[in-house]
Amino acid sequence: MSAALAIFVKTPGHSPVKTRLAASIGCPRAEQFHRLAAAAVAAVARAAMPGVQPYWAVAERDALDHPMWRALPTLWQGSGTLGERLDHVCATLQQQHGRALLIGADAPQIRIDLLAAACAALDDPATPHVLGPAHDGGFWLFGTRQPVPAAAWMAPRYSCADTARMLVAALADDGAVASLPMLNDVDDGNDLAPLIIDLKALPAPLPEQRELLAWLRDNGMDAPETSQRSLPPPRGGSGPKG
């Protein structure tokens, strides 16, 4: 069975990008981070096992042909809330490919073996769904091999500390959810230092991941004063988000 992997992105110049990160490092650098992080995620997706077809899930309908997204086929996320957009992309790709994986561009330290583990989990008859939890309570990946009820996507409060837990609970009657390793994702400036640590720890980083790490260093993101992470109040990510 084939699989589709949708990378949720926004297009600079068409939508505000990484607004919480921009509050810390400025809009131009936040947009450049988004570009480099999306390229790194796409590189890992393209290097994944045969049979996995990556797509850009683009937030803006009028940006589907934007030069930034030429590396992969594109599809529109759809309109509405994040839950509605996740539902639209997941349902579209699950119907076309049998298995659908949804990720964001906020965890560029992902590895090929993690995507392989997600596909392997969906091969297990006991687990029709798979989720990669994020440290902030959201999720960096969701995958399925069967239709997901729209109500399950509407159940979580996104960008909360219990987003992933609520999604898993909403799927309780729809089959077991396999769990992948927990990762950091980047929502604001406090998340950059953990990302740098994760990128440095990659055993075989792809060129795009090395480029992102070099950019972070060149822009002083790993300077001592920026690597002291202040703990904000508990919050959650919205998982694969544009």
Interatomic CA distance for residues 105 and 7, integer angstroms: 6
Q: Number of C-alpha atoms within 13 angstroms, CB side, residue 113?
A: 5
Check residue 72 and give its pLDDT. Answer: 97
Cα dihedral across residues 116, 187, 203, 177: positive or negative: negative
Task: Work out the number of other CB atoms within 10 angstroms of the CB of residue 234.
Answer: 10
Residues of the chain with pLDDT under 50: 224-239, 242
Domain ranges of the chain: 3-218
Angle (CA) 87-156-124 rounded to 5° is 65
Check residue 1 and give its pLDDT. Answer: 58
**pLDDT (tens digit per residue) in 115-129:** 999 999 999 999 999
Check residue 49 and give its pLDDT. Answer: 78
Q: Give the global pTM.
A: 0.91
Interatomic CA distance for residues 123 and 120, integer angstroms: 5
Fold of 3-218: Spore Coat Polysaccharide Biosynthesis Protein SpsA; Chain A (3.90.550)
Interatomic CA distance for residues 78 and 32, integer angstroms: 24
Q: State the alpha helices, DSSP H only, in 140-206.
A: 150-154, 163-170, 192-201
